[in-house]
A and B are shown apart, each in its own frame.
Chain A
Amino acid sequence: MIRALKLEWLKIKNYHTFWILLGLYALALIIICFGGMFLLEYLKNHGADFEGIDPTILPIYDFPDIWQNTTYLGSFLKILIAFIVIISITNDQTYNTLRQNIIDGISKKEYLLGKMLLIAALALFSTVLLFISGLINGSIYSHVQGGHYVLDELEFLFAYWYDIVIFCALAFFLSLIIKKAGFIIIALTLYSLMFEPILTMVFTEAPFLKGQIWASLAPFFPIHAINDLIPVPFPKYAFREIEDNVPLSALAISTVWFLVYIGGIVFILNRRDLKS
């Protein structure tokens, strides 16, 4: 395991593009994590109110709600980590180094393991960054303090990590099929941020499909499933009931997708002839 991870480490250690992209990602995540109060301030200054309540007193940074709030927002940035993964995989194909690595003596299984460990490590980096941001913001703004509140609902951090891992596994799979980094980046962005959300919204909301089976299909879509891992937390501030646990159904469906991606990757790695 360590051997496979070290191989990936040697590839990225001196790769400036990687570190710049990771730095930009970290910056974006920090802005999202720390930006909540500024956003509420902005809303207040522009006359917004939530059923008569001053937005700045909304307890968005209260423990333990902070975890669901920040993981929900932070997960929108997972596409940036996927870009890093896409570049790492397509590099190995355009430079033919995947083939050279295998010729030099790694197995395809080891290659898969190395890339998945890289993905897990990137997701962990993001999760730790988000956790630290949460601790800082929570200690400043939370109305309740103490270990019991802080450590409650940490399951959302796991869901956040898992969400990134599965999404990056999809990016890995697509990178093996399509091979062209620019093309995958555009296709994945459009699909995950636009095509699938709109399609599933049509399924659930369109008047002509109301009451039919279509709405119940939406949770099974690949992006929908991982997005469901962290339910939208904000309606609770308008006193609506929300799901404040990681839904088991979303966990099950996204795990199935995860296995599909891994299976697809194994299939392609085993089947494909690595000719230049």
Chain B
Amino acid sequence: MKDILEIKGLSKNFGKVKAVTNLNLNIQQGQIYGILGPNGSGKTTTLGMILDVVAPTAGAYQWFGGMSPISARKQIGAILETPCFYPYLTAVQNLRITAHIKECSFDRIEEVLEQVGLAERKNDKFKTYSLGMKQRLSIAAALIANPPVLILDEPTNGLDPQGIAEIRTLIKEIAAAGKTILLASHLLDEVQKVCTHFCVLRQGVKLHEGSVNDILGETNEVEIAAADNEKLKATILKLDNIEAMSEENGLLILKTANGLTSDAINKYCFEQGLSLKRIVTRTNSLEQEFLKILEEK
């Protein structure tokens, strides 16, 4: 795996406020890397530093194994916080500026506007756009040079549910094309749905780093329900390897032990003459893990 970005001991103080403290990160080709943290945890400051608009107090970073920062930035499509465009220019005119800076052909403009669904409004001024359209234009700008790396800072901020779904689909499509994506978000669900790897920042300190799949394994909790829950309860009590049982919203929650699986439970109930109308093995969500991580530290 090729190193795309290497961050070593990066710190930033704004006066007495420590926005980022001694951050180390390694991002490799093909990863969709989520930087997760509450508002004000240093996500945007970190992205600002690696994009050269915020001067680090200490530490260093390098792109693509040591490319000059200016050439590197031309190969990165990045949006930081809110979309930034000239309000008096149309989408096409704004993207010409981006394309000119990134030294890519103006022919790409139509293509990326099509991709983000703005083709019909391409000749309207930016100031007439809704927030969702502005957000989509900034993604179009990030895509214009067909960059191998994308940096997206809260890309679904302020969008309606449909817009959020569209942007997430778009991100997955882009990722499927083999691009590396660095995504900052305070939305756990977003990182869980989109990312392969993630780290957790709090007050500028990295608390955790890992792969999303590792953390989202199955748990030892099984939810079951039947037409007659009382009878089910009595039956289940006789089953071995049940550590605990509780009831929630008409569901029985079983804590299993010694590798007792849901299909074994299902089989047992069926043999006892009970048919289950619901049986689900609970999985971890990033939210639970996130709260656990925050509690631990």
Contact = CB atoms under 8 A, between A and B. Distances in A.
A14 B73 contact: no
B163 to A, nearest CB: 21
Given A3-B100, A6-B100, A273-B48, 19 more contacts: A7-B101, A14-B88, A15-B86, A15-B88, A95-B86, A95-B87, A96-B82, A100-B84, A100-B85, A102-B51, A103-B80, A104-B73, A104-B102, A105-B74, A105-B76, A107-B70, A275-B45, A275-B48, A275-B54
B98 A106 contact: no
B204 to A, nearest CB: 15
A275 B101 CA distance: 20
Contacts of B98: 104
Given A99-B80, A275-B48, A10 B100 contact: yes
Interface residues on B, range: 20 to 34
Contacts of B179: none
Nearest 9 CB-CB pairings of A with B: A105-B74, A100-B84, A96-B84, A105-B73, A274-B53, A104-B101, A273-B54, A103-B51, A10-B97
A97 B73 contact: no
Residue among A16, A101, A103, A271 having the largest count of chain B Cβ atoms under 10 Å: A103
B189 interface: no
Interface of A: 3, 6-7, 10-11, 13-17, 91, 95-97, 99-107, 271, 273-276
A17 B87 CA distance: 12
B84 to A, nearest CB: 4
A97 B85 contact: yes
Contact of A105 (B55, B85, B90, B102): B102
Contacts of A276: 80-82, 84
Interface string B218-236: 0000000000000000000
25 contacts: A3-B100, A7-B100, A10-B93, A11-B97, A13-B93, A14-B88, A15-B88, A91-B86, A95-B85, A97-B84, A99-B84, A100-B80, A100-B85, A101-B97, A103-B80, A104-B78, A104-B98, A104-B101, A105-B73, A106-B70, A106-B101, A273-B14, A273-B54, A274-B54, A276-B84
Contact of A11 (B76, B81, B86, B87): B86
Contacts of B76: 105
A100 B87 CA distance: 14
Interface in B211-254: none
Contact of A274 (B48, B74, B78, B93): B48
Contacts of B71: 105
B202 interface: no
A10 B85 CA distance: 13
B55 A103 contact: no
A5 to B, nearest CB: 11
B93 A14 contact: yes
Contacts of A96: 82, 84
B257 interface: no
A158 to B, nearest CB: 32
B89 A14 contact: yes
A101 B74 CA distance: 10
Interface in B41-81: 45, 48, 51-55, 70-71, 73-74, 76, 78, 80-81
B96 interface: yes
Contacts of B78: 103-104
